Amino acid sequence: VFKKYLDSNDLVFHTNFPGSPLAIIKNPENKEIPEKTILEAADFVASYSSAWKENWGVIDVFYVLPSQVSKSPPSGEYLPKGSFIISGKKKFIKKAKTELAISLEFIEMETDSDRHRKGFYPKILSGPKNAIIGQSKNFIIIKPSKIGLSKGKLAKKIKNHFLQKSDKNMKKWINLLSIDEIELNLPTGSSVIM
């Protein structure tokens, strides 16, 4: 699947942790990618890797060019389904953080045929702290912790946080937000709210 999304000017991020996500910085105009963007992508991959479950605070993340990523194993070798091979030199980002910001955004929508009535669909966003903070006023920071909350308990606590911190008129829309939708945005493992 990832090959169809890769273009020659993109950057591909991964870790050496098994089951680590693969992230792509799209670069269709072939411009220099800001270091801030590279660091945010590294933090994203670190946070959604198994390092979170293992309670690591920082890990090394690497990035390569799309031409270095292949689904074809060397002759005589087998590549399990969902795996890929990275060849050539890797550029490492040392000490990428396992830390995420979780925010709540509202998508405006029409509620019925009366175009003067508006509704709001609540949407959870998650990502590196620096990327989310610049886009949202309503967010929380989470980090991995062996003594933290499970995904389900954390999701309930996050929803309650947004209910308490939001405008009275928006609370009815936040109640539409399912715990499952929040859980889908959380990394695997225990977490604490900072």
Structure tokens at 58: 């920082």
Cα 170 vs. chain centroid, distance in angstroms?
25
Q: What secondary structure does DSSP assign to 179-194, as a single string? A: HHHHHTTSPSS-EEE-
**Would you place residue 116 in the very low, low, confident or very high pLDDT band (cuts 50, 70, 90)?**
low
List the chain domain ranges.
Answer: 2-97, 100-193
**Strand, coil or helix: 129:** helix
Looking at residue 102, its pLDDT comes to 97
Residues shown for the chain: 194
Structure tokens at 79: 């590549």
More confident residue, 18 or 116: 18
Strand 91-97 to 58-64 pairing? antiparallel
Phi, psi angles (nearest 5°) of residue 67 = -65, -15
**Would you place residue 2 in the very low, low, confident or very high pLDDT band (cuts 50, 70, 90)?**
low
The answer to which of 124-138, 153-167, 176-190 has the lowest mean pLDDT is 124-138
pTM, full prediction: 0.88
Looking at residue 26, its pLDDT comes to 95
The answer to which of 46-50, 77-81, 115-119 has the lowest mean pLDDT is 115-119
Looking at residue 1, its pLDDT comes to 55
